[in-house]
Structure 1
Amino acid sequence: METGFVVVEKVRGKSSVTQSFSKYPLKLIIPNKVGSNKTDAVWIYSLTYGGGIVSGDIISCGLTVGDDCTTVFTTQSSTKVYKSVGFKCSEQNLEWRLSRHARVALIGSNALLVVVPDPVTCFSTARYSQKQVFRLASNSSVVIVDWITSGRHEIGESWDFKLYKSTNHIFLEDQPLFLDSVLLEDGSITNISERMQGYQVIAMVILLGPKLKEVQIQVKEHVKRMMYEQLYTPTLGCKKRKSFGQTKPDMIASCSAFGPKGIGVVVRISKNYNRSRCIGFRDLRLTKDGAPQGHHHITDVIPE
């Protein structure tokens, strides 16, 4: 049973919410205007009653984005997952459709969806499972940020939860394009904290679609340059790999293309300290300089 859904369509030439619904434990806030006045975008904020997800909570939410519409889905703060009671697992299932008609899986065109929540923060002993399904047209565009912190770092928790699973599926014209799943589970031999080797944040950023071509190029160059600086020491006439000894790079990032003709880019990031903002994403400081006219950019719809 759905606990929420939103439908965004063009009304008098502007992206507008035509249907919305939410019920406990989910609450959706849709402000009249956020971000640049020049940007035609609907903003949707997701939050939960009590500020977090309680053991056994099940959230199911759908979003339909119509032709030529731009929508940003975000949160007011980190998604807190409270400790589990017994073996109960908190679940969140989200389905995003870029579609012509409300709640019908007809694929729309020229739409942009930006999903940039704050990170998931699992408390000690928590169990959490999340699944996101994206159904896109061939000329739709999407930005997805999916990330998790080690927990309540300020009180000494570090990967102390029991289970975290995050699944992201992207379908292009009803064909599977990107199927990804991350599973962190406490084991009998090693715990999650030992396997994370001191890193406190992991993130995945996906950039897909024609409106993000210039952004993809910038991201690839940024990751390449960033990792070169992390791993190599410049010397006269050559490059020398750094010797870290017992220390590790502050951040490790990889970037790769996926899909036919490399239409999508996925960036994976591990970082050894918590940040209140989306590490490795807003840090890119992407600008509109040099971009073809008419292209949407992340900084056009995401506030600093």
Structure 2
Amino acid sequence: MEKQGRVVVDKVGGRSTVTRCFSKYPLKFIIPRKVGSSETDAVWVYTLTYGGGIVSGDSVSCEFTIGDGCTTVLTTQASTKVYKSVGSKCCEQVLEVHLERGSVSSIAERMQDYQVIAMVVLLGPRIKHIQNLVQENVKRMMSEQLQIPSTASGRQLKPNSDNRFTKPSFIASSSVFGPKGIGVVVRIAATTTESVYKFLQHQLAGLEPLLGVSPYH
């Protein structure tokens, strides 16, 4: 398959550096010169498509080669749209990544079975009641999920054979931030998008009087 994009990252002067970058329609790469601290040795690559999506007939294939000991962050636009197909034309998108020795591996290995990472920021005095409610709900949910099972006599059960308890399919935490705790941030990890939508739909239902409709309804 013909490549619409290719990026090669190697060590130059002891730092991760893009030594080759090629892209053509409908693909485009943006490589900012400075992201974060100058002491950080990482190359950021933003992948974009013209129009913000893929149309029928598009065939996008790109290849990344990450050299020994290099670090590269590959991101996408916020949401890649897939437009309605015309006739029998299909679209496809292929990504090939070659990692040399010492390169950082995919985040998928670290996420294990968790497919969704989300963060919700609740800020301002008008939604103080929702902040309090969400914090109470998160605390209750996680205390129930992470509680070590016990027998009727009150004795705690032992973990399974490999000394681990079953990982919960949904994990959430909440904390306050800002002057006088003006805001609340909720962090979520889950195995399915449906469970996150259901959580948000329930927790943010109190916003309906302010927004006119309930979010995620």
1:82-121 equivalent positions in 2, closer than 5 A? 82-98=83-99, 108-112=100-104
Amino acid at match of 1:110: G
Query: What percentage of aligned pairs have identical amino acids?
Result: 53
Runs of 4 or more, structure 1, over 6 Å off, are: 232-236
Please state whether the residue corresponding to 1:46 is helix, strand or coil.
strand
1:103-152: per-residue Cα shift (whole Å, max 9, x none)? Answer: xxxxx21112xxxxxxxxxxxxxxxxxxxxxxxxxxxx33249xxxxxxx
The number of residue pairs the alignment matches comes to 140
Amino acid at match of 1:60: S
Runs (5+) with no aligned partner, structure 1: 99-107, 113-140, 146-201, 206-225, 240-250, 255-266, 276-304
Structure with the larger strand share: 1
Q: CA RMSD in A?
A: 3.6
Is the contact between residue 3 and residue 60 of structure 2 (CA under 8 Å) also seen in structure 1? yes
State the match for 1:67 in structure 2.
68
Runs (5+) with no aligned partner, structure 2: 118-139, 157-167, 172-189, 200-217
1:142 lines up with 2:106 in the alignment: yes
Please state whether the residue corresponding to 1:92 is helix, strand or coil.
strand
- Say if 1:238 and 1:228 are closer, same or farther in 2 by CA, change over 3 A: farther
Shift of 1:269: 3.3
1:18-37: per-residue Cα shift (whole Å, max 9, x none)? Answer: 00100001001111011233
Counterpart Cα distance in 2 of 1:230 and 1:57: 48
Larger radius of gyration: 2
Please state whether the residue corresponding to 1:50 is helix, strand or coil.
helix
Please state whether the residue corresponding to 2:115 is helix, strand or coil.
strand
1:273 lines up with 2:185 in the alignment: no
Amino acid at match of 2:107: V
Counterpart Cα distance in 2 of 1:84 and 1:238: 60
State the match for 2:5 in structure 1.
4
State the match for 2:115 in structure 1.
203
Higher relative contact order (CA 8 A, sep 6+): 2
Please state whether the residue corresponding to 1:68 is helix, strand or coil.
coil
Is the contact between residue 52 and residue 77 of structure 2 (CA under 8 Å) also seen in structure 1? no
- Say if 1:53 and 1:274 are closer, same or farther in 2 by CA, change over 3 A: farther
Counterpart Cα distance in 2 of 1:10 and 1:274: 45
Counterpart Cα distance in 2 of 1:27 and 1:36: 25
State the match for 2:28 in structure 1.
27
- Say if 1:68 and 1:234 are closer, same or farther in 2 by CA, change over 3 A: closer
Shift of 1:86: 2.6
Shift of 1:97: 0.3
State the match for 1:252 in structure 2.
169
Counterpart Cα distance in 2 of 1:33 and 1:93: 28
Shift of 1:87: 3.5
- Say if 1:235 and 1:20 are closer, same or farther in 2 by CA, change over 3 A: closer
- Say if 1:94 and 1:204 are closer, same or farther in 2 by CA, change over 3 A: farther
1:81 lines up with 2:51 in the alignment: no
State the match for 1:17 in structure 2.
18
Is the contact between residue 59 and residue 91 of structure 1 (CA under 8 Å) also seen in structure 2? yes
Shift of 1:46: 0.3
Structure with the larger helix share: 2
Please state whether the residue corresponding to 2:51 is helix, strand or coil.
helix
